[in-house]
Amino acid sequence: MKVAIVPGDGIGREVVPVAEGVLRYIRPEWDYYPVEVGYGRWERCGAAIGAEEIRALSEADAILFGAVTTPPDPDYLSVLLQIRHDLDLYANVRPVRGPGVDLIIVRENTEGLYSGIEWSLPGSACTLRVVTERGSRRIARFAAGLVKGGHLTIGTKANVIKSDVLFRRCVIEEAEAAGVAWEEKYIDALCLDVLMHPARYGVIVTTNIFGDILSDAAGYLVGGLGMLPSANIGDKHAFFEPVHGSAPDIAGRGIANPVAAIRSAALLLAHFGYADEAVAVDAAVNAALAAGVRTPDLGGAASTVQVGEAVIGRIREWMS
């Protein structure tokens, strides 16, 4: 296995080494290599990512990513969006797990309001929301494939946005073809209901930006953004990253919560068939948290590195 390690910016540089340490502890024989992308690279050489980095990422079996800083500058293209697009990572899978909560948000990851088709005019700016039948059907099949006995929830704004009428129809057709029960909710009501009644939900499928917003909001259920991992999956590539960003407000202080990044490493293990190891990593995280080894966002006083050490200590016990 070739694993590209991409810390990125801000706390990505603090949490990724911890998650990488967990992976290396479990699979020391894999080939790990660093790839530099992000704002730091942009400041240094005027581009957040180059052709060489894209090639290095596409040659990896798996990518472990941290976070990048993306300033609201019309000339700055998010490197993350470029990678998701170039590697065709169409399914953004965001599990939200904790006491009383076990749901997965499946976010379409290549189109919608993130089409990249946008332009500015004097006095106005336009972004084109693109929803295709191909894109909707493949994310629907992916999400339906994750439903185990329960039902699929479809989040749209099909009452007002015509592109969501297409999305809705494609998802319903694919769910029915897969023999998966479905329900639908408008995304605004869904955001609230997920927070009020999380146990009602299993797999939720939605379009790109709705999934972005819903997943951060769902962090409320499990202790915040520091807890949520994600997988970006395509037919050829697999990319694992925390849901959170580069958190410039706490970067450089050694207090970022590494749990989201460690759980992303667990998703990587599970994706490549190391199910027992993935379960062991998640269990080690939960045991460390239960023992009070927590960063300040969770009310504790542990550092990023201390949480990593506590998790590895428990994995060591599991392995011996």
Is 249 designated active site?
A: no
Q: At its nearest, how many Å lie between ligand IPM and the CB of residue 213?
A: 9
Size of the site for ligand NAD (CB under 6 A): 21
Catalytic residue among 114, 185, 201, 282: 114
- Considering only the stretches 16-24, 66-74, 190-198, 203-211, report the one whose residues sit in contact with ligand NAD under the rule CB under 6 A: 66-74
Q: At its nearest, how many Å lie between Mn ion and the CB of residue 111?
A: 16
Q: Which is nearer to ligand NAD, 112 or 245 (CB)?
A: 245
Is 216 designated active site?
A: yes
Is 188 designated active site?
A: yes
What one-letter code names the amino acid at 90? Y
Contact 64, 268 (CB under 8 A): yes
Torsion angles phi and psi, residue 129, rounded to 5 = -95, 110
| Binding residues among 193-232 for ligand NAD as defined by CB under 6 A | 225-226
What tokens does 64 get? Answer: 């472990």
Contact 295, 256 (CB under 8 A): yes
314 near ligand NAD, judged by CB under 6 A: no
Number of residues written out for the chain: 320
Is 162 designated active site?
A: no
Q: Which of 5, 80, 231, 256 lies at the binding interface for ligand IPM (CB under 6 A)? A: 80
Pairing label, strands 229-233, 238-242? antiparallel
Burial environment of residue 310 by CB neighbours within 10 A (0 to 12, 13 to 18, 19 or more)? buried
What tokens does 177 get? Answer: 């073809």
Distance between CA atoms of residues 173 and 129, nearest Å: 22
Is 236 designated active site?
A: no
Q: Which is nearer to ligand IPM, 101 or 213 (CB)?
A: 213
Active site residues: 114, 157, 188, 212, 216
Residue ranges binding ligand IPM (CB under 6 A): 70, 78, 80-81, 212, 243, 245
